Amino acid sequence: MSAFLKTFTIAIIIVSISFTTKKSIGPEYSLVVKKSVKIMSFNLCNDYPGAPEGYLWSERREDVVKLLQKHQPDILCAQEDLVQQGDYMTQAMGWTRTGMAFNPPSKGAFNGVYFNEDRFSKIQSGMFWLSETPEKYSKGWDAQAVRTCNWVIMKDKHSREEIVIFNTHLDHLGNNARIQSARLILEKIQEIGQGRPTILTGDFNSPRNSSPYQIFAEVMGDSRLIGETSPIGPIPTIVSTGTGSLTSEADYIFLKGFNVSKYQAIDDKRENGRYFSDHIPIMATLTLN
């Protein structure tokens, strides 16, 4: 074989190996498997006329957006977000909202899930009421208010994985309603999740020693407790609008199929010394198992 043919043959082999390697284990794939997701749960305190001084949405909305811009969650799961609050955030942050108000199509709080369509695509979404008749508008058990859970199946364009998010707000008065709601949500997670990596966020109006918390914790991980590093920030997440102090814990991010590289309860304050809402946001940085 001539020197030219030998050189040409070797070149073809090198190119072939290079092409095969890039297709199977190239740089793009390496980045994919390491990409993390930052998810925030935040009870915004709904925009109602009787809000305490300093807690009207019109007084807080610019500060709330600054907080979101500072911490840059990939996904925001909100509670008590009325349509005008969600509209303001989607416009300011360039996000998409999925979810329905508890009295469709737009009356009441959404428990909305907000995300960037450059990163995620929605596959399917829905909502169920926390009641004995979850398929229709209804109030359940001994609840004081109508309560719902929104869910969305989305595809992460970086990892190409499908993940499922459930976002809820349990009743603040009805203890049996909270217990039965927890059981219903877990049934729906099994039915809708179908084994996919799943995140459950919300204001659960329940401390860690309560029955609703224990029902969730038996089958899902609490992101504050299972992190690779020590959690950052205070344990209480509810803010007393009277004293401005943190009082008790009610907000959690539960997980199946994820590792937690960082957990933070964000106790930042506005320039006037007040918190951004009557809850502080919590955020977890996650990677797939």
Write out the DSSP string of 91-142: HHHT-EEE---SBTTTBS----EEE-TTTEEEEEEEEEESSSSTTSS---TT
CATH class of 37-288: alpha beta
Work out the number of other CB atoms within 10 angstroms of the CB of residue 102. 22
- Distance, in Å, from the CA atom of 200 to the CA atom of 222, rounded to the nearest integer, reads 10
Q: Is 45's pLDDT higher than 50? A: yes
Question: What pLDDT digit, counting tens, does each position of 113-160 carry?
Answer: 999 999 999 999 999 999 999 999 999 999 999 999 999 999 999 999
The answer to whether residues 206 and 216 touch, using CB atoms and an 8 Å cutoff, is no
Give yes or no for residue 49 having a pLDDT over 90: no
The larger pLDDT score, comparing residue 107 to residue 233, is at: 233
Give pLDDT, residue 92: 97
Token pair belonging to 27: 């740089």
Q: Residue-wise over 193-209: b if at least 16 C-beta within 10 A, else e?
A: beeebbbbbbbbbbeee
What does the alpha-carbon distance between residue 18 and residue 25 come to, in Å, rounded to a whole number?
Answer: 10
The string of pLDDT tens digits covering residues 225-282 is 999 999 999 999 999 988 899 999 999 999 999 999 999 999 999 999 999 999 999 9
pLDDT at 5 over 60: no
Distances in Å between the Cα of 186 and the Cα atoms of 66, 176, 219 are 34, 16, 9
pTM beyond 0.85, yes or no: yes
What local confidence, expressed as pLDDT, does residue 102 receive?
84
Residues 6+ apart with CB under 8 A from 168: 79, 111, 130, 147, 148, 149, 150, 181, 185, 200, 201, 202, 203, 204
- Of 54 and 273, the one with more pLDDT: 273
Q: Where are the domains of the chain?
A: 1-34, 37-288
Q: How confident is the model at residue 17 (pLDDT cuts 50, 70, 90)?
A: very low
The span from the CA of 196 to the CA of 200, in Å, is 12
Rounded to whole angstroms, the Cα distance separating 281 from 68 reads: 10
Give residue 9's pLDDT.
45
Q: Are 111 and 97 in contact (CB under 8 A)?
A: no
For residue range 66-104, list pLDDT tens digits in order. 999 999 999 999 999 999 999 999 999 999 999 998 887
User: Residue 9 is inside which H or E element, if any?
Assistant: helix 3-25
Strands (E), the chain: 37-43, 75-79, 96-98, 113-115, 120-129, 148-156, 162-169, 198-203, 221-222, 251-256, 258-265, 282-288
